[in-house]
Amino acid sequence: MANSKHPKKSVDRALAGTQFEIRSEFYRNIAEILQTARQNAYRAVNFVMVEAYWNIGRLIAEEEQKGKQRADYGTYLIKNLSVRLTEEFGKGFDEREVRRMRQFYQTFLIRDALRPELTWTHYRLLLRVENDKARDYYLKEAAEQNWNTRALERHPSTGSG
């Protein structure tokens, strides 16, 4: 039990008395490689989900256009889709979120213009910006300046700022 609470101490004990000591610079270099790899993996997974939500929004918009003859089709489509997605995939697919995916597609029609530096939370904040030019500005700044979502949210058009 003590080992799980204090893993560094157990590692230090295991290394005690060995004739080979790891240089701190060498260790820092390896730790940095691992940190960078983890960050890149996180960003890649995040962007794959952003693309998935864009594609879901596209399919919803296309399906609604096919069913235009019935006025309430879009409402029922999103409600029913939300229920089924939640049953199969769990939280994160309530009606509001599914509607947001459709809005995401309708707001950012060109998938190749999506920025891999930004997360779904960034895009959700950007959807609040009604002015197209302002939204484009915040999108560009958030990506190029590496803004986290809190930094983006501080701006008047996107959040509480």
Domain containing 154: what range? 115-161
* Three-state helix/strand/coil letters over the chain: CHHHHCHHHHHHHHHCCCCCCCCHHHHHHHHHHHHHHHHHHHHHHHHHHHHHHHHHHHHHHHHHHHCCCCCCHHHHHHHHHHHHHHHHHCCCCCHHHHHHHHHHHHHCCCHHHCCCCCCHHHHHHHCCCCCHHHHHHHHHHHHHCCCCHHHHHCCCCCCCC
pLDDT for the residue 11: 60
Among 108, 125, 149, which residue terminates a domain?
108
131 with 88, same domain? no
99 with 136, same domain? no
pLDDT for the residue 2: 46
- For the chain, what percent of residues have pLDDT higher than 70? 83
Q: Is position 66 within any domain?
A: yes
pLDDT tens column, 76-105? 999 999 999 999 999 999 999 999 999 999
pLDDT tens column, 128-157? 999 999 999 999 999 999 999 999 999 877
41 with 101, same domain? yes
Q: Is position 5 within any domain?
A: no
Q: Is position 15 within any domain?
A: no
The structural domain count of the chain equals: 2
Look at 14-18, 22-26, 110-114 and tell me which has the smallest mean pLDDT: 14-18
The answer, as to whether pTM is greater than 0.85, is no
